[in-house]
Amino acid sequence: MAASKCTRLTGSLVKQLLDSVDSVLFDCDGVIWRGDQAIPGASDVINLLKKNGKRVFFVTNNSTKTRKMYADKLAMLGFNASEEEVFGTAYCSAMYLKTVPKIQGKVYLIGSNAMRQEIENVGIQTIGVGPDPISGAQTDWANVSLDPEVKAVVVGFDEHFSYMKLNKALQYLCNPSCLFVGTNTDTRLPLEGGKAVPGTGCLVRAVETAAQRPADVVGKPSNFMFDCVAKQFSLDPARSLMVGDRLDTDIMLGTNCGLKTLLTLTGVSTVAEAEDHLKSGCPNRTGMVPDYYVDTIAELLPALQG
């Protein structure tokens, strides 16, 4: 396979690319929507792809919504999509716990209600969601009562993150057989309205530092997200396209899994960054070079409408 060359996708190349794939995987934030605003033309792109017989999937590192909540948001913004086509890290973390380490026991969860729902949906009990402020004296914290049935600590986005939660996670992780899973390492979480706050990556780093061990990360660029989709829908990577706005997560995932990759410029990464990676020749960085780029996914429309 030729090395990715970061070519502008234009003219007849668009149809050529679309004809060469059966499935298209889209990241969400910065690709099909920004906060609660759809990218203009995005819903037409998705709906026309489906009309043209392509399968469409949504692959996001955002752990704050269940598949159902994502399906509702997609519907509200005019996208013709169903729950089964959405792969967020809340759902994928639950699938990971169930199918890879096959957890028998409970999870100490630093995360949202959406994560709790998805994990409990696969039959694994969780504890820890919600506010948990510090109480008692410092000598009490190491002796905080631990649930002996906890077999894993899972860290996702949590606006209620506190020292007490960090402490409890550390106490559980002092047992070397306790698993440590993180949903993703993104440093910022995009919000409705276009603002951003510190991302899950910050919380995972805090726990990794205290516990002095790395988390098993489920989200992009880890292969697991793609494997999750591929297993359920029998995808052929060579006939699949990953569309994303971040070189270090979306494009990296696409490259690692053998997909074609398309960078859209309505989000985080720039062409200059991509070309920098290309020029570096560094094996760690060439995986972040997309095959193609567009200013916005709306540029796919003419080929789809033709």
Partner 1 sequence: MAGKARGCHKIRGAQIRDLLDSKHNILFDCDGVIWNGEIVVAGAPEVVTLLKQQGKRVFFVTNNCTRPRENYVQKFSRLGFTDVAEEEIFSSAYCSAAYLRDVAKVQGKVFVIGCHGVQKELQDAGVPTVEDVSDAPDVSIYNFPLEPDVKAVLVGYDERFTFMKLAKACCYLRNSECLFLATDPDPWHPLRGGRITPGSGSLTAALETASSRKATVIGKPSRFMYECIASQFDLDPERSLMIGDRLETDILFGANCGLDTMLTLTGVSTLEEAQEYRDSEAPEKKDFVPDYVVDTIGDFLEALED
Beta carbon nearer to partner 1, 54 or 160: 160
Buried b (16+ CB within 10 A) or exposed e, 17-38: bbeebebbbbbbbbbbbbeeeb
Catalytic: 29? yes
Q: Are 229 and 25 in contact (CB under 8 A)?
A: yes
Decide: is 209 part of the binding site for partner 1 (CB under 8 A). Answer: yes
12 binds partner 1 (CB under 8 A): no
User: Which is it for strands 23-26 and 240-244: parallel, antiparallel or unpaired?
Assistant: parallel
Using CB under 8 A as the binding rule, the residues of this chain from 178 to 197 that contact partner 1 are 187-188, 191-193, 195, 197
Regarding 142 and contact with partner 1 (CB under 8 A), the answer is: yes
Out of 88, 111, 128, 201, name the contact with partner 1 by CB under 8 A: 201
Tell which residue, 130, 126, 131, has the closest CA to residue 116: 126
Window 76-95: contact mask with partner 1 (x via CB under 8 A): --------------------
User: Which pair of tokens denotes residue 140?
Assistant: 């009490």
Active site residue 158: no
The rounded Cα 16 to chain-centroid distance in angstroms is: 28
210 burial class (0-12, 13-18, 19+ CB within 10 angstroms)?
Answer: middle
Residue count (the chain): 306
177 binds partner 1 (CB under 8 A): no
Count Cβ atoms below 10 Å from residue 48 Cβ, excluding itself.
18
Instruction: Find the shortest distance in angstroms from Cβ 166 to partner 1.
Output: 5
Contact between 285 and partner 1 per CB under 8 A: no
If the CB atoms of residues 43 and 64 are measured against partner 1, the closer one turns out to be 64
> Please, what is the angle between helix 113-121 and helix 89-99, to 10°?
40
- Residue 198 interacts with partner 1 (CB under 8 A)? yes
Closer Cβ to partner 1, 199 or 244, answer by number: 199
- Among 151, 109, 102, 148, which Cα is nearest to 130's? 109
- Binding segment for partner 1 (CB under 8 A), chosen from 45-53, 99-107, 159-167, 289-297, is 159-167
Size of the site for partner 1 (CB under 8 A): 38
| Candidate list 27, 158, 250, 291, residue with the active-site label | 27
* Residue 4 or 171 with smaller CB distance to partner 1: 171
Look-up of token digits 């570096």: 280
Query: Which residue has 């690319």 as its token pair?
Result: 17
Q: Is 156 in the site for partner 1 (CB under 8 A)?
A: no
Alpha carbons within 13 angstroms on the beta-carbon side of residue 292 total 23
Binding site for partner 1 (CB under 8 A): 133-134, 138-139, 141-143, 158-164, 166-167, 170-171, 174, 187-188, 191-193, 195, 197-199, 201-203, 205-210, 212
Catalytic residues: 27, 29
